[in-house]
Amino acid sequence: MASNDRFEGKVAFITGAARGQGRAEAVKFASEGADIIALDVCKKLDSTAYEGATEEDLAETVRLVEEQGRKIVATKADVRDFDAVSAALDAGVEAFGRLDYVVANAGICSANLSWEITPEQWRETIDVNLTGVFFTCKAAIPKLIEQGEGGSIVITSSVSALTGASFFGHYVASKAGVAGLTRTMANELGMHKIRVNSVHPYGVNTGMIMTDVVPLMGQFADTLAPTFMASLPYGFSEPEDVANVVAFLSSDEAHHITGINMPIDLGNAAR
């Protein structure tokens, strides 16, 4: 059983922290003793069908972390802006004096047949989901190396990167990209005792409600929709289910685990 103080005296940097998985991860780390550096863009992006997180959502994450008795530095920033990501991280490290865990969680999703994906959909998805992860890691890794105490990076990918889910070609490409980046960085950073892993959820009960995929699934239900089936009968995961795995991979309990692409997928990848 996990200790409720296994992250005592540690600091976690989490992107996309205003709601959903990022908020659950912030609360999970805080509940086990960590202070939090959080950022979120806090707006709707152009290519998504769902509403984005808000500044009020980020303020609620702050409240929930503080409710755990921990401190948090929260910044409205876009992961596509390297200078903004670096500034947000610098502010948190200045406040807390260290950095131990990175959770590169910020991401977006939209739906279309691969040959009908618009240039705008493609560009925005790749920029947020892949370049944003790269910028997050690029800002954090030098601090972890300089600190000289090891550390953990966990990147949010998707089971779709393992299965090639229909209707999400741009999203799949971005998430497969971060899965590959995970393995490369794990190889490069092992000498510094910095571990890098990715998690691959199935469907998670968050604000990313994919209304734009519904007509596509209806149109191609007989041939393509079965790729979305899971084995376990739970429907969707909750953000806390993902946060629990992220916390485990970040903890000393997983100190021999690096370079893996961990499904949290109700058995979807086994189909």
CA angle 237, 85, 154 (to 5 degrees): 35
- Phi and psi based region of residue 89 (left: phi greater than 0; alpha: psi -120 to 50; beta: remaining): alpha
**Sheet containing strand 101-104, strands side by side:** 72-76, 35-40, 11-15, 101-104, 151-156, 194-201, 261-264
d(CA 238, CA 204): 5
DSSP-derived secondary structure for 241-260? HHHHHHHHHHSGGGTT--S-
202 tagged catalytic: no
Triad 239, 104, 257: Cα angle to 5°: 85
CA distances from 254 to 152, 200, 246, 258 (A): 10, 17, 10, 8
The active-site residue out of 101, 171, 202, 234 is 171
How far apart (Å, rounded) are the C-alpha atoms in residues 203 and 205? 7
Residue 156 in contact with residue 108, Cβ under 8 Å? no
Q: Give 156's strand partners.
A: 199
Rounded CA separation 3/51 (Å): 36
Rounded-to-5 percentages of helix, strand, coil across the chain: 50, 15, 35
Residue type, 41: V
Active site residues: 171
